[in-house]
Amino acid sequence: MEREFLQELGLADEAIDAVLARHGQEMGEAEARHAGELAARDFDHALERALDGYGFSSRAARQAAADAAREAGLALSEDGALEGLESVMDDLRARDPGAFLSARPPVIFTAAVTDGGPVTREQIISIPDRALRRAAIAENIKLFKGEN
Phi (first) and psi of residue 82, to 5 degrees: -95, 110
Output the CA angle 142-147-148, nearest 5 degrees. 100
The Cα 128–Cα 11 span in angstroms is 77
Predicted local confidence at residue 29, as pLDDT? 95
Q: How far apart are the first and last CA of the chain?
A: 68
Predicted local confidence at residue 31, as pLDDT? 96
Confidence grade of residue 35 (pLDDT, cut at 50, 70, 90): very high
pLDDT tens-digit readout, 43-69:
999 999 889 888 888 899 999 999 999
How many Å is the Cα radius of gyration of the chain? 28
The Cα 146–Cα 68 span in angstroms is 39
Please list, in sequence order, all residues whose beta carbon lies within 8 angstroms of the beta carbon of residue 23, skipping any fewer than 6 positions away: 1
The Cα 33–Cα 15 span in angstroms is 27
What three-state secondary structure class fits 56?
strand
What three-state secondary structure class fits 83?
strand
pLDDT tens-digit readout, 67-126:
999 999 888 888 888 889 999 999 998 888 888 886 445 555 554 555 566 788 888 888
How does DSSP assign 73-95, residue by residue?
T-EE-TTS-EETHHHHHHHHHHH
